[in-house]
Amino acid sequence: MARLPIGIRFLVSFSRDQWYRAFTFFLTFLLYASFHLSRKPISIVKGELHKDCAAVTEGEVQFNSLSKQTSYLPPQQAPHNGTDCGWVPFDKENYQQLLGALDYSFLCAYAVGMYLSGIIGERLPIRYYLTFGMLASGAFTALFGLGYFYDIHSFGFYVLTQIINGLVQTTGWPSVVTCLGNWFGKGRRGLIMGVWNSHTSVGNILGSLIAGYWVSTCWGLSFVVPGAIVAAMGIVCFLFLIEHPKDIRCSSTLSTHSKAYETGTNRFRTQKQILNEKNKPLDPEAQCLLLSDGSSGVHPNHVIILPAEGGNAMAAISFTGALRIPGVIEFSLCLLFAKLVSYTFLFWLPLYITNVDHLDAQKAGVLSTLFDVGGIFGGILAGLISDRLEKRASTCGLMLLLAAPTLYVFSAISKMGLEATVVMLLLSGALVSGPYALITTAVSADLGTHKSLKGNAHALATVTAIIDGTGSVGAALGPLLAGLISPSGWNNVFYMLMFADACALLCLIRLIHKELGCTGTPAGDQVPFKEH
């Protein structure tokens, strides 16, 4: 009997559980990549909404005139002010403030909605919740682009579209992180989620390329096409997403819990069970990172006890209960400043490249994708290092420490030519995106399944929403500040970004001190969990 082909032998070498786990990994990757794909067009189109008439060549004018005759452009183009070419109302001298306000509208709504999204998401089926968010996000992304085809020049229309889109997009992050956290345990979570988090950069790259393809000829399609993609992925989510391994009787890589957790009268381990586990090694993060004081164990005040629902279910954690998880506040504040830097690049980098390197909107959009390429490597590197060292905060701190001087160098040499810009885009992307990626994925999942929760997996969505919601406050402030500061010079924008990186590092000082201070502490000396 002939041997099976090598390819078939490779396929059957994986178990059913492994195939489902890999399928969930790639599906959630694609789902959230589509969210980021829909956020990128606004940064690409900025250079088209406002541009100097002197930069418009005679050939471009003739092409636009021909397109207009064939109804490819809106039949009635609003007049410009004589010195600027663009789309009313973004053709005025205050265009940077108006474009910054669009970013702020989206990101502020996203930040506010994120705090509510995790709480709502815990109480609804993830598949339905995520499907609704993706369909709604696709509709409002496309609606922004329809303003081009219907010749809409109301600033309020574009602001309202951005606000609603920001709110519905908050359904995405808590849902996909919770789903992935259900399927993957803690052993190599940093590396796995570092690779998985490259969906952010992949989505940004695809969004830049798709939006850039139409930006100079029909910028409305730069929004309509990404909106259609997000909506289509929402249908895929509804048809294929599996929320938890138990739904198809797969084994979970998350730690299993004793039956004492699952009853209403005896939900926690007895003191005898605790004493029996006293000499077992604790998780490194329980030993070092997530401490409440100078002691070497988990403080009893950090055991969060939740009332049972219906006698046999773990209650969904409250907002204040999630804040009491040690490490949540520090990482949330750190992400506020880290995301401020990352989203300033996301929304303003193409326009910066246009102004500095004198490229058109399409070429600047393509070049800006190098920042996201660097971000892919930065996220994977951060996850790999943090897994190896078992020190999440120290890994973030090191990358933040290197990011600030790198941004200064970027601002200094990016004006020297295209080659220097390419190198600095890759390096800056890695150092800026690394901490951001690590905190929003592995750190959020670690804190959401922290031992102080006594096995309550319901906390993951709320913790993720709190951390990313706080980070989104910074994401809203960054582009807004860039819009206000950039008229005084791009150097001042970079100074603002360096200051934000320094603040992010300061937020982690206490956790870094505890990580480094408890190195070498014998695991057997740890204080076990105690009952209240």
**Residue 74 φ/ψ, nearest 5 degrees:** -55, 140
pLDDT attached to residue 298: 41
Beta-bridge mates of residue 52: 84
Residues 6+ apart with CB under 8 A from 239: none
Q: Compute, in degrees rounded to 10, the torsion defined by CA atoms 288, 289, 292, 296.
A: 0
Report the 10 Å Cβ neighbour count for 6.
Answer: 8
pLDDT digits (tens, 9 = 90+) for 84-142: 467 888 888 788 788 888 888 998 898 888 888 877 877 788 999 999 999 999 999 99
pLDDT attached to residue 304: 43
Q: Which token pair is 173?
A: 């992050």
**Residue 339 φ/ψ, nearest 5 degrees:** -75, -30
Compute the C-alpha angle 395/399/404, nearest 5°: 150
Identify whether the C-beta of residue 521 lies closer than 8 Å to the C-beta of residue 296: yes
Sign of the Cα torsion 159, 164, 170, 172 reads negative
DSSP codes of every residue in 74-137: -SSPPP--SSEEE-TTTTSTTHHHHHHHHHHHHHHHHHHHHHHHHHHHHTS-HHHHHHHHHHHH
Q: Which token pair is 86?
A: 């663009």
Q: Is 522 left (phi over 0), alpha (psi -120 to 50) or beta?
A: beta
**Coil, strand, or helix at residue 50?**
strand
- Cα atoms found within 13 Å of the Cα of residue 223, Cβ hemisphere only: 22
- Structural domains for the chain: 13-50+86-243+317-518 (1.20.1250.20)
pLDDT attached to residue 74: 46
pLDDT digits (tens, 9 = 90+) for 360-415: 777 887 888 888 889 889 989 998 898 888 888 899 999 999 998 998 888 888 77
Q: Which residues of the chain have pLDDT under 70?
A: 1, 52-85, 185-189, 251-318, 357-358, 448-459, 518-532
pLDDT attached to residue 501: 92
